[in-house]
Structure formats: C-alpha cells, structure tokens
C-alpha cells in the first residue's frame, strides 16, 4: 500500500460528534488522512477509543480495553469500506462494511485489514511509542530507519526519533546512522528542530558523533530554527574546543546577520570562552556584512574579562573591517575607556585609527588619548604625529588648543606644537591658535618667542598677521 500512497494531510487528536449508523459511539480522537493514488483522491478516517494492543507486525489486534474500539473508514475509487473493531466480554470483535452493507469479516474483511492496518498505524500515531521500542529491540537501528522511511507524517516521524532517543541508549555507530538518515526524512524545519533542541546533548558526547551532528544541521533551511538549535547546543553543553569550532562553523548556514549576532552575543555573555574559542569566534564575526551587528559583537568582546594580547590585536584588526566611522569611533572610544591600549599594541592601534575618514571622529579619538597615561612619555609625540592626518583647519586648531591647555607640557613639546601649527591652512584658525599660544606659553623663553614669530610667516592675511604680532609684543611689554 505504501508504494502507491502519498499522504498529503494529517489532522490528529480532534474531538468529534458521534458518528453515524453502527459507529454511533463518541470517539476519543479522530485522524483524517487524504492522498492521491493513480490520479484519484482517496480519504481515510480513523477513530479510536481506549487502549489497543496490536500484534507484532501490526496486521491484527490482540486486545482492546472495555468500551474501547478502532474504526477505519476508507473511500477509494468510489468504493467505501469500514472496519469496526471492539471488545465484548474480553474478546476482540470485528465488523466489516462495503458501502452501507455489512459483509462477513472472513475472509475479505481480514484481507483488507492486513493490507491497510500497517499504514494506518504508521501514519496515525497509534501505539507509536511502544511500536518504536518494539521495532528497535527486534530489528535495531536498521529496522527503525526502515520504518521511519515509510512514515509520511513529519510530526509522527519526529515523535518516532524522540521516542527512540528517550527510551534507548544508542551506540556510537547507531547514533551516526541515525544522524545520517533522520534529518533527510523530516521535511518540517520545526519538527526537525524539536529533536535537535531536546536531544543535542546525546549527540555531543563523542567527537565523531558530534561532527556528524553539526554536519546534519545543514538540513535546516530556516535561519530562525537553526539559530534556536545552536542556542540550545550552547546552553545545554560544555563545548570542547573541537565542538565549539563546529558550533561556530555552523553559523555559515545562517544568512541572517541578526541571528548570527544573537548567537555570538550568547557565547560572549557568560565569559566562559577560552582564548582559543574566542579566536574562532572573532574569525566568524569578520564575515558579518552588517556594520551595526559587527560593532555590537565587538563591543561585547571588549567587556569580556581576561582578553589576551593576541585577542586584543585580533579585535583591533576586526574593527578595521568596519566601514562606518561612527561605529569604529564608538569601539575605539570603548577600548580607551577600558584601558585596553598599551605600548605592545600601539602599532596596530595606529593603523586602526588611520581607517577613520572623518576629521571630526578622528579628532575625538585623539582628544581622548591626550590623558591616556598607559602610552607613557611617548604619548605627546604619538598625538603630534597623528595630527598630520587631520585636514580640517577647524578640527586641527581645536586639537592643538586642547593640547595647549595641558599643564605639563615641556618646552620641547611646546616648540613641537608651534612647529606643527603650520599644518593649519586657514589664516583665521592659525592666527587664533598662535594668539592663544602666546597667552599660554612663556614668552621670556627666546626659543618659544622666536618659534611663535616664525610661525606667523605662514599667515598670508595682513589683518590676521597683525593680530598675532600685536598679541606677542603686547604680552612681551607687560613682562
């Protein structure tokens, strides 16, 4: 029967009104099945009540509890058949109908029952848990997989796998065989994910089975369901480095940056990743196409404790892949606030800030570094050199004024700052900076005074030039 039946719809466990004629007994549940066979639509209805015990090959019924019954109604090629099996005084009683006429059960009714009953049981969920256990105990994993292949309902196929794993301890080879078969027998991502979410710890106890498990996840086409499965995997297991790598590699099957990002945040949330696992995760973060999602992960990374120098350099390199100045500036600001920059990663950091195209954002970072003591005595020289990348006269003069207001500048540093003022191309901004410098610096120092006067030569406006010279000499007279 299986070879010519293709089931289309199954509706299970719904309460009914009393049926007609001799079946006018209120059923416990009803299952309706429709299929196409040889261009003809056929319909099957199964109603059950009570406990029913089948023989081993499900071609007959051994017993039915008091007041229990099984009713099977089929319409095929215009022919209507019914089978009603009940219990009377502990005996199983059969009644068979063709059309509206009751005919002897033997032999035609029994022949029809033997033909239809195995598929009725298989695709209605009748005796499902017991049947799964019987099949496995008698025929092993091979017999189970053969039965699974003949079951058309995703729902019941999923329950079969669940009952198998729930009630039996499968060997390594059996688990591998199961993983190679059952994901391809269940089309519903939802039903498939239910098994993966509930029983993934069973599959992750052995390295070879784990590899098979993660490989089989490719059968899930839904980003959401796959992300839910992977979330369950992370929450329910202490992943080895090997399993963590497989866990991360499974992200490649997810096209949604949002779902990937949520999984990465989950992995970072409890600070239990090893440095090796963190390196694996960082490589995956780089493949995110969304700057926003990528930056959210990087910010989460920065909050992790115990980052190694290698991890910090990896995070800096990862930040370079961002195209958004805003997101990059936010991340660099977090690095500075958390004190993650030091002399050992200074070269990598310098390369990072060169990626920022906005003068405003770039100057913001330099301002934050002015008071960053971890860079030591080289800090001022670093900032002065970095200022060469600011093209805006407004931003440049603002930054030089910020440096100028630092109380601990040496004479040598003041001279370097005056010398760098020539980078300010605006007469107005340059004049304003030199005026403030003349007010802030010690003009009794001949080198400083000479440097200020020399810097005025870069001012082409006589008006702005005059303002600066007036400021220098008026202050000198006051002295």
**Contact status, residue 182 vs residue 148, Cβ threshold 8 Å:** yes
Say how far apart CA 396 and CA 387 lie, in whole Å.
7
Average pLDDT rounded to a whole number, residues 235-249: 94
Asked if pLDDT for residue 14 goes beyond 70, the answer is no
Both 23 and 78 in one domain: the answer is yes
**Contact status, residue 372 vs residue 342, Cβ threshold 8 Å:** no
Both 208 and 181 in one domain: the answer is yes
Both 90 and 166 in one domain: the answer is no
Both 50 and 149 in one domain: the answer is no
Domain C-terminal end among 122, 151, 177: 122
Q: What is the DSSP string of 316-359?
A: HHHHTT---HHHHHHHHHHHHHTT---GGGHHHHHHHHTT---H
B/e letters for 260-272, b = 16+ CB within 10 Å, e = fewer, are bbbbbeebbeeee
Both 153 and 245 in one domain: the answer is yes
Residue 235 in any domain: the answer is yes
Both 116 and 134 in one domain: the answer is no
Q: How far apart are the first and last CA of the chain?
A: 112
* DSSP state letter for 250: G
| CA angle at 107 for the pair 72 and 119, rounded to the nearest 5° | 35
Both 116 and 150 in one domain: the answer is no
Distances (CA, A) of 6 to 144, 150, 347, 458: 20, 10, 66, 88
Q: What H or E segment, with its residue span, contains residue 94?
A: strand 91-98
Domain C-terminal end among 255, 271, 290: 255
**Nearest Cα to Cα of residue 72 among 93, 35, 44:** 44
Q: What is the pLDDT of residues 15-27, one digit of tens each?
A: 333 334 443 334 4
pLDDT of residue 278: 86
Residue 372 in any domain: the answer is no
Say how far apart CA 151 and CA 180 lie, in whole Å.
17
Both 131 and 178 in one domain: the answer is yes
Q: What is the pLDDT of residues 449-472, one digit of tens each?
A: 999 999 999 999 999 999 999 998
Q: Is the peptide bond before 107 cis (omega within 30 degrees of 0)?
A: yes
Residue 144 in any domain: the answer is yes
pLDDT of residue 231: 96
Domain C-terminal end among 255, 286, 303: 255
Residue 181 in any domain: the answer is yes
The total of other beta-carbon atoms located within 10 Å of residue 172's CB is 13
Average pLDDT rounded to a whole number, residues 295-324: 86
Both 78 and 183 in one domain: the answer is no
Residue 109 in any domain: the answer is yes
B/e letters for 21-46, b = 16+ CB within 10 Å, e = fewer, are eebebebebbbbbebeeeeeebebbb
pLDDT of residue 35: 53
Q: Which segment, 89-93, 168-172, 372-376, is predicted with the most confidence on average?
A: 168-172
Domain extent at residue 198: 127-255
Q: What is the pLDDT of residues 31-66, one digit of tens each?
A: 776 655 554 556 888 898 888 999 988 999 999 998
Both 250 and 133 in one domain: the answer is yes
Residue 106 in any domain: the answer is yes
C-alpha torsion angle, residues 413, 416, 417, 421 (rounded to 10):
180
Q: Which of 28-42, 162-176, 349-363, 389-403 has the lowest mean pLDDT?
A: 28-42
Residue 350 in any domain: the answer is no
Residue 294 in any domain: the answer is no
The total of other beta-carbon atoms located within 10 Å of residue 112's CB is 17
**Contact status, residue 1 vs residue 7, Cβ threshold 8 Å:** no
Both 147 and 193 in one domain: the answer is yes
Q: What is the pLDDT of residues 128-162, one digit of tens each?
A: 999 999 999 999 999 999 999 988 889 999 999 99
Domain count, the chain: 2
Residue 7: pLDDT band (50, 70, 90) is very low
Both 157 and 234 in one domain: the answer is yes
């Amino acid at each position: 029967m299986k070879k010519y039946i293709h089931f289309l719809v199954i509706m299970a466990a719904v309460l009914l009104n009393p049926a007609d004629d001799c079946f006018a007994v209120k059923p416990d549940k009803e299952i309706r099945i429709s299929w196409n066979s040889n261009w003809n639509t056929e319909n099957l209805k199964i109603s059950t009540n009570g406990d029913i015990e089948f023989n081993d090959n499900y071609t007959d019924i051994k017993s039915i509890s008091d007041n229990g019954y099984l009713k099977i109604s089929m319409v095929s090629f215009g022919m209507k058949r019914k089978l009603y099996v009940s219990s009377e005084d502990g005996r199983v009683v059969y009644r068979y109908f063709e059309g509206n006429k009751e005919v002897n059960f033997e032999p035609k009714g029994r022949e029809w029952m033997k033909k239809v009953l195995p598929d009725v049981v298989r695709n209605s969920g009748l005796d499902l848990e017991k049947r799964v256990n019987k099949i496995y105990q008698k025929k092993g994993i091979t017999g189970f997989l053969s039965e699974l292949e003949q079951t058309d309902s995703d729902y019941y196929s999923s329950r079969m796998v669940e009952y198998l794993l729930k009630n039996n301890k499968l060997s390594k080879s059996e688990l591998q065989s199961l993983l190679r078969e059952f994901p391809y027998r269940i089309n519903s991502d939802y039903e498939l994910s239910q098994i993966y979410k509930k029983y993934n710890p069973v599959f992750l106890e052995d390295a070879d089975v784990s590899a098979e498990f993660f490989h089989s996840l490719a059968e899930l086409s839904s980003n959401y369901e796959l992300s839910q499965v992977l979330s369950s995997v992370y929450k329910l297991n202490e992943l080895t480095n090997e399993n963590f790598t497989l866990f991360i590699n499974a992200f490649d099957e997810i096209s949604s940056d949002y779902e990937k990002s949520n999984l990465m945040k989950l992995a970072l949330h409890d600070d239990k990743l090893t440095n090796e696992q963190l390196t694996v995760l960082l490589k995956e973060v780089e493949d995110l196409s969304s700057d926003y999602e990528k930056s959210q992960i990087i910010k989460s990374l920065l909050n992790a404790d115990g980052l190694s120098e290698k991890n910090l350099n990896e995070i800096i390199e990862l930040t370079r892949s961002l195209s958004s100045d805003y997101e990059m500036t936010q991340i660099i600001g977090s690095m500075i606030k958390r004190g993650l920059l030091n002399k050992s990663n200074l070269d990598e950091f310098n390369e990072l800030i060169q990626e920022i195209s906005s003068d405003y954002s770039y100057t913001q970072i330099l301002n934050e570094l002015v008071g960053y003591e971890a860079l030591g005595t080289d800090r001022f020289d670093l900032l002065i050199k970095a200022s060469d990348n600011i093209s805006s006269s407004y931003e440049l003069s603002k930054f030089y004024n910020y440096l100028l207001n630092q109380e601990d500048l040496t004479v040598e540093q003041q001279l370097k700052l005056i010398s760098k003022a020539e980078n300010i191309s605006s007469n107005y901004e340059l004049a304003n900076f030199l005026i403030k410098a003349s007010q802030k610096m010690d003009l009794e120092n001949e080198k400083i005074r000479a440097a200020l006067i020399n810097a005025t030569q870069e001012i082409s406006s006589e008006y702005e030039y005059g303002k600066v010279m007036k400021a220098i000499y008026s202050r000198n007279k006051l002295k």
